[in-house]
């Protein structure tokens, strides 16, 4: 599930028709660590209907800046290159699945 992305491949990924759930996180962030098992559970629930990636804001500050990420964790759903949903803080797998439903 976890993969580091380079700006070009990230752009290609989010420009697709398949929804991409992005977890903007930091290694030092306690709530971010809480999101990992939640995202694993979520990925199990949605299978290949959505892509789930994590972006470390400390290693990718340009990505964080480009999308106005000021706090972590920040979750965003991209579809066709657009942010269609966004929320900062911890969210349950069931809530995330519910939010994703209109975009799959």
Q: Would you call 32 a catalytic residue per the annotation?
A: yes
Phi, psi of 67 (to 5 degrees): -110, 15
Options 22, 32, 55, 77, the catalytic residue: 32
Q: Full-prediction pTM beyond 0.95? A: no
Options 13, 18, 26, 29, the catalytic residue: 29
d(C-alpha 68, C-alpha 103), whole Å: 22
Q: What is the pLDDT of residues 77-99, one digit of tens each?
A: 999 999 999 999 999 999 999 99
Q: For residue 65, give the 3-state DSSP assignment.
A: helix
Q: Would you call 29 a catalytic residue per the annotation?
A: yes
pLDDT at res. 96: 97
pLDDT at res. 3: 53
**Domain residue spans of the chain:** 7-103
Assess contact for 38 and 93: CB atoms under 8 A. Answer: yes
Q: What is the pLDDT of residues 19-51, one digit of tens each?
A: 999 999 999 999 999 999 999 999 999 999 999
CATH of region 7-103, choose from 3.90.25.10, 3.20.20.70, 3.40.30.10, 1.10.3720.10: 3.40.30.10
Tokens of 74: 């920040």
């Amino acid at each position: 599930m976890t993969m580091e992305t380079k700006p070009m491949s990230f752009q290609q990924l989010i420009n697709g028709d398949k929804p991409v759930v992005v977890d903007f996180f930091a290694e030092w962030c306690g709530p971010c660590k809480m999101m990992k098992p939640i995202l694993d559970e979520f990925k199990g629930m949605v299978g290949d209907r959505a892509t789930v990636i994590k972006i470390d804001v400390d290693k990718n500050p340009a990505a964080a800046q480009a999308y106005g990420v000021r706090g972590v964790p920040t979750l965003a759903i991209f579809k066709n290159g657009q942010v269609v949903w966004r929320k900062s803080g911890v969210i349950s797998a069931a809530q995330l699945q519910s939010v994703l439903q209109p975009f799959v």
